[in-house]
Amino acid sequence: GTKGRGVGVYRSSDAFRAKSNTYLVVERGAGFKVSKSGIYVATYEDGGTMQLHVSRDDGRSFLPAVFPGKLQETRYTILDEDDGTVFISVEHQSKGGGLSLITGGGSTLGDVYASVADGELLFKDDFENGLTKWRGRHQRVVPSRGRIAKDPMCEKEGEGCRGKVMKMDGCSDEGDAFSLHSFTCSLAFPCKVSMWVLGSPWQGFSEGFPGSHIWTAAGDKEERGLHKRIPDSAGKWTRVEYVFPRQQSEFTWEEGAKAAAGLRISKVRVMLEAREKGGGSTGGKCGETYFDDVRVTRARSEDYVVALRGNTRDVLGHVDMHAVAGLGGVLLGNVRVEDDDSVRTLYTADNGNEWRPIPPPPPPP
């Protein structure tokens, strides 16, 4: 810690049964939150400031959140949106070091920051243009079990229809679909992987078609190098996201093949397949399995930009900004107007990019 300040945050892969499976992931911890978008840990820094660290892979690795300026020691509040956008409200300090209070209300203020898009795009396919970005085993023109199909949830979800998706008609082993182009994922240049899945999906990385490979997002029967465990989901789409490879990792490329041990993960391809529930392989009857919107971007520090300044908080610190249920990207927030020390309600219809005032209702006749 910093002269006794803060505590270490540790992660264990076996419920802290063995010391060898427990390691430090964040030092100087001041508080943490487990959210549907990730794990957030605030840490004490030198000079009385705080730093927020974010994990998208169940605490295996943390990246520092990057804000436009250095933030003074204060409180963070995490607000998640269903589309993956994350809002972070950071409580102000007054110039004298105390909290800025709204006269008469006992409330504090905070600036709200919104997460920005991912880093450099390395690979993306939403399958609306067929399977042109994929090859099958041994560089076949098309995967043997993968084909383009209509989202089976379209009739059930209406507006939630994902359009064209990749469907796996049967189980495979050592991969069925491989990205045509390869890219570098390494400890020095990690990748962020995201996709939507339905059924019994397995995803990994391979240096060939398949060649040396490893499964990184898979079911219960896979253990080596696994970054994200995917439960079978027959009734709804599930979003998967993780960073590969992670810093504190048992993974090195020799898990794929001893001959490649010195490569430390060189050029890799995305690898997809369906597995029979329970880990069965070729020839089994898989539940219907689908993939959509497969993306690989260059992982970077979590970046945030200002979305709303002067957002009010109540006396307990609850943030006065809320998403409107059923309307994607629509939020309401209260802000303090400095001119007359009043509170004004604003709304946004584009996830915080532009805010407009809501006029007060007319007086009764």
pLDDT in tens, 50-68: 778 888 777 777 877 877 7
Residue 257 pLDDT: 41
On whether both 333 and 293 belong to a single domain, the answer is no
Beta-bridge partners for 187: none
Structural domains of the chain, count: 3
Q: What is the pLDDT of residues 344-362, one digit of tens each?
A: 888 888 777 778 888 777 8
**Within this chain, do residues 148 and 289 fall inside the same structural domain, yes or no?**
yes
Q: Look at residue 114 in the predicted model and tell me its pLDDT.
A: 83
Comparing 58 with 285, the larger pLDDT belongs to: 58
Q: Decide if pLDDT at 301 tops 60.
A: yes
Per-residue pLDDT tens over the stretch 100-138: 444 445 567 778 888 776 678 899 999 999 999 999 998
Q: Are residues 361 and 348 in the same domain?
A: yes
Instruction: Note the pLDDT of residue 132.
Output: 94
Task: Looking at the structure, tell me whether residues 259 and 293 fall in a common domain.
Answer: yes
Judgement on whether residues 252 and 351 belong to the same structural domain of the protein: no
Q: Which of the listed residues 278, 298, 318 is the one where a domain comes to its end?
A: 298
Does residue 238 sit in the same domain as residue 135?
A: yes
For 26, phi then psi, to 5°, come to -145, 135
Q: Could you tell me the sign of the dihedral formed by the alpha carbons of 70, 74, 78, 79, in that order?
A: negative
Tell me, yes or no, whether 265 and 130 share the same domain.
yes
Instruction: Please tell me what DSSP assigns to residue 287.
Output: P
Domain identity same for 28 and 163: no
**Roughly how many angstroms between the first and final C-alpha of the chain, as a whole number?**
63
Same domain, 276 and 325: no
Clarify whether residues 31 and 95 are in a common domain: no
Which ranges in the chain belong to alpha helices (H)? Answer: 154-157
pLDDT score of 225? 64
pLDDT at 208 over 70: yes
In the predicted structure, residue 141 carries a pLDDT above the cut 80: yes
Q: For residues 207-233, give the mean pLDDT.
A: 79
Distance CA 18, CA 210 (A): 35
What pTM was computed for the model?
0.56
Same domain, 247 and 106: no
Provide the token pair at 50. Answer: 């705080």
298, 321, 348 — which closes off a domain?
Answer: 298
| pLDDT at 16 (0 to 100) | 82
- Supply the range of the domain harboring residue 208: 121-298
Same domain, 208 and 320: no
Residue 193 has pLDDT above 80, yes or no: yes
